[in-house]
Amino acid sequence: MNQGDSYLNDIGTVLFIIGIISGGNLVFYSTGCYLNLSYMGFISAGAYTLWGVLLKYNPVSKVSVLGFVNPIMGVLLSALFLGEGQEALSVASIVALLFVSTGIIIVNYEKQVISR
């Protein structure tokens, strides 16, 4: 574990303790709640690991632009899995998604330089 991971873990622990002291609580009504929490933890850990690998082998300027893919995937997946197709696939949403996609393409476009 690197120093950044330790720092995030420490801050999370402090915030959890403050929440408990302030009267907050975690209530899990079923085994499915525990499974869902574990699933989200594994997905987050996997995404964080992939992000680190991408940063290790690619320039930061290229990888950071991929963060803008999050809203695109969020809209498309909410339309697919949550049945929010009417809102997610409205004209305004599609235009916005096209603008974001175009920006990602423009930033990542490399012009071929021909040397003689």
Q: Which residue has the tokens 């320039």?
A: 59
pTM of the model: 0.50
Interval 35-81: pLDDT, tens: 888 888 888 888 888 888 888 898 887 788 777 777 788 888 888 88
Which one has a higher pLDDT value, 17 or 113? 17
Give the integer Cα–Cα distance in Å for 31 and 108.
44
| 1-5, 27-31, 85-89, range with the lowest pLDDT | 1-5
**Closest by CA position to 88, among listed 78, 100, 73:** 78
**What is the DSSP code (8-state) at residue 113?**
P
What integer pLDDT is reported at residue 74 of this predicted model? 82
